[in-house]
C-alpha cells in the first residue's frame, strides 16, 4: 500500500509540491542513516481535528537530534506550528504526521558535523498499521531471533533512522514466517518491544511493561496507556520481563502511534489468554478512543488544529 499522496510537504520553512520534495542521492542520511524523526497522529474528534500529544512528540524529536549533536534550527513551538500548517494546507482531517530531520548534502564521510541538518514535515492518511481488523481482533506474532541494541551501542531512547535497520530485520523475519509482527528481546534476553511498538502484558489484573532500560523507545502511547491504566485503578509495573511471561500472560498488547492499542492473539503459536482483546486491553482501548475519537480529553493531550478558531467562537458565544 503506497503512501497516499497529498498536495504539499513542508521543507526547510516552505511548502513544496509532494513530487518535488526530494534530496540529493549523496546526502549523508542515505549513506549513514543519519535522520531523526517522529510519527504523530491527528485524529478527527467530535470537536474537530486534534493532534495527540504534539508537544511531547516534538520534545522527543529535538532530544533525538541533540544526542547526535544536530541542531534542528527551529524551536519546539515553531515545529508545532509548521506541523499544524502542513495539516491545514493539505485539508487533512485525520492523518499521520512524519516530521524528519536529516544530515543533508555536502561532505561525504562518516563525520556528520559538516553536513547541514534539514527538516521536512509530511502529513498523509494512513490506515491500520498491523493489518485490517488488527486493533479490533488482534494479531499473531512471534519472538524474534533478532535482539534490540545493547546499551551504549545505538541509543534506543532516540527515534533515529538508522535504528530502523534493526526493526526491519525483526519485521521481515516475522512476515516471511507468517506472523504480523516480531517481539525483540533486549541484550540480556528480557522482553523489549516490537519493530515499531511497545509491549504490555496483563497478569492477574496487574499491568506489566518493560522499562526503558530494556532497550525500548520511551513511547508516548506507552506513557499514555500507563496513565490510563492507573486511572482505571490498575497497578502498572515497569520491570524486566522474562520471555515465558509472554506465554503465561492473560493478555498482551502492543502500543504505538501507528499501532494505537493492538491486542495480541497468539505468540509463537501459543494462544494468549481466553479472548482477544482481553478485559483490561478492551478497557484501555475504550479509554484511549474516548479521548481521541470522542474528544473527552481529561488529561489535556489533544491540540486542536483550529485552536484559534475555537477561542474566537467562545468569545462569540460570550458576546451573545
Ligand atoms: N517502539 C518503536 C521501535 C517504535 O518505532 C514506536 C513508534 C514505538 C515504540 C511507540 O512509540 P510511540 O509512537 O511514541 O507510542 N513507531 C512509529 C513508527 C512506525 C513506522 O513503521 O514508521 C509510530 O508508531 O508512529
pLDDT in tens, 170-183: 999 999 999 999 99
C-beta of 257 in contact with ligand 1 (< 6 A): yes
pLDDT for 313 equals 47
Q: Is the pLDDT of residue 308 over 80?
A: no
Q: Is the pLDDT of residue 317 over 90?
A: no
Minimal CA–CA distance to 220: which of 51, 10, 88?
Answer: 51
Q: Catalytic amino acids?
A: 159
Mean pLDDT of 78-107: 98
Identify which of 149, 197, 210 to mutate to test ligand 1's pocket (most ligand atoms within 8 A of the CB): 197
d(CA 10, CA 273): 45
Instruction: Quote the pTM value.
Output: 0.95
C-beta of 219 in contact with ligand 1 (< 6 A): yes
C-beta of 182 in contact with ligand 1 (< 6 A): no
Identify which of 170, 198, 284 to mutate to test ligand 1's pocket (most ligand atoms within 8 A of the CB): 198
Query: What is the distance in A from the centroid of ligand 1 to the CA of 269?
Result: 24
Helix, strand, coil percentages in the chain from 3-state DSSP, rounded to 5: 30, 25, 40
pLDDT (tens digit per residue) in 132-178: 999 999 999 999 999 999 999 999 999 999 999 999 999 999 999 99
Identify which of 57, 58, 219 to mutate to test ligand 1's pocket (most ligand atoms within 8 A of the CB): 219
pLDDT for 2 equals 84
C-beta of 222 in contact with ligand 1 (< 6 A): yes
When the pLDDT of each residue in the chain is averaged and rounded to a whole number, the result is 95
Are the C-beta atoms of 52 and 43 separated by less than 8 Å? yes
Mean pLDDT of 47-52: 98
Run of H or E including 64:
helix 54-67
C-beta of 220 in contact with ligand 1 (< 6 A): yes
Strands (E), the chain: 8-11, 14-17, 35-37, 40-45, 48-52, 95-103, 117-124, 139-143, 181-185, 191-194, 198-203, 206-209, 236-238, 251-256, 260-267, 270-271, 302-304
Q: Domains in the chain, ordered, with CATH?
A: 8-127 (3.30.470.10), 134-292 (3.20.10.10)
Name the one residue in this structure whose C-alpha cell is 519472538: 143
Q: Is the pLDDT of residue 28 over 90?
A: yes
Banded pLDDT at 288 (limits 50, 70, 90): very high
Q: Is the pLDDT of residue 52 over 80?
A: yes
pLDDT for 1 equals 61
Radius of gyration of the chain from Cα atoms?
A: 20
C-beta of 196 in contact with ligand 1 (< 6 A): yes
Q: Is the pLDDT of residue 255 over 90?
A: yes
Amino acid at each position: 500500500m503506497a503512501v497516499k499522496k497529498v498536495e504539499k510537504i513542508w521543507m526547510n520553512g516552505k511548502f513544496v509540491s509532494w513530487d518535488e520534495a526530494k534530496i540529493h542521492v549523496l546526502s549523508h542520511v542515505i549513506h549513514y542513516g543519519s535522520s531523526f524523526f517522529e510519527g504523530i497522529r491527528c485524529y478527527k474528534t467530535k470537536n474537530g481535528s486534534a493532534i495527540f500529544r504534539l508537544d511531547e512528540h516534538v520534545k522527543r524529536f529535538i532530544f533525538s537530534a541533540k544526542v547526535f549533536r544536530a541542531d534542528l534550527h527551529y524551536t519546539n513551538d515553531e515545529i508545532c506550528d509548521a506541523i499544524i500548517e502542513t495539516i491545514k494546507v493539505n485539508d487533512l482531517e485525520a492523518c499521520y504526521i512524519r516530521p524528519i530531520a536529516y544530515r543533508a548534502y555536502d561532505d561525504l564521510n562518516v563525520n556528520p558535523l559538516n553536513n547541514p541538518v534539514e527538516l521536512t514535515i509530511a502529513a498523509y492518511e494512513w490506515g491500520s498499521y498491523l493489518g485490517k481488523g488488527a486493533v479490533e481482533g488482534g494479531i499473531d506474532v512471534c519472538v524474534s531471533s533478532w535482539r534490540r541494541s545493547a546499551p551504549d551501542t545505538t541509543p534506543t531512547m532516540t527515534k533515529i533512522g538508522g535504528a530502523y535497520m534493526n526493526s526491519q530485520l525483526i519485521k521481515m523475519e516475522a512476515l516471511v514466517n507468517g506472523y504480523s509482527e516480531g517481539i525483540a528481546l533486549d541484550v540480556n534476553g528480557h522482553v523489549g518491544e516490537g519493530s515499531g511498538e511497545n509491549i504490555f502484558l496483563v497478569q492477574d489484573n496487574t499491568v506489566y511493561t518493560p522499562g526503558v532500560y530494556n532497550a525500548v523507545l520511551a513511547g508516548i502511547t506507552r506513557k499514555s496507556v500507563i496513565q490510563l491504566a492507573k486511572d482505571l485503578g490498575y497497578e502498572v509495573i515497569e520491570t524486566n520481563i522474562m520471555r515465558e511471561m509472554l506465554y503465561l500472560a492473560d493478555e498482551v498488547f502492543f502500543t504505538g502511534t501507528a499501532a494505537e492499542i493492538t491486542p495480541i492473539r497468539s505468540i509463537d503459536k501459543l494462544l494468549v489468554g481466553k479472548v482477544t482483546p482481553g478485559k483490561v486491553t478492551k478497557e484501555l482501548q475504550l479509554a484511549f478512543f474516548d479521548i481521541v475519537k470522542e474528544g473527552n480529553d481529561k488529561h489535556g493531550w489533544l491540540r486542536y488544529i483550529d485552536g484559534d478558531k475555537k477561542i474566537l467562537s467562545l468569545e462569540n458565544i460570550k458576546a451573545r
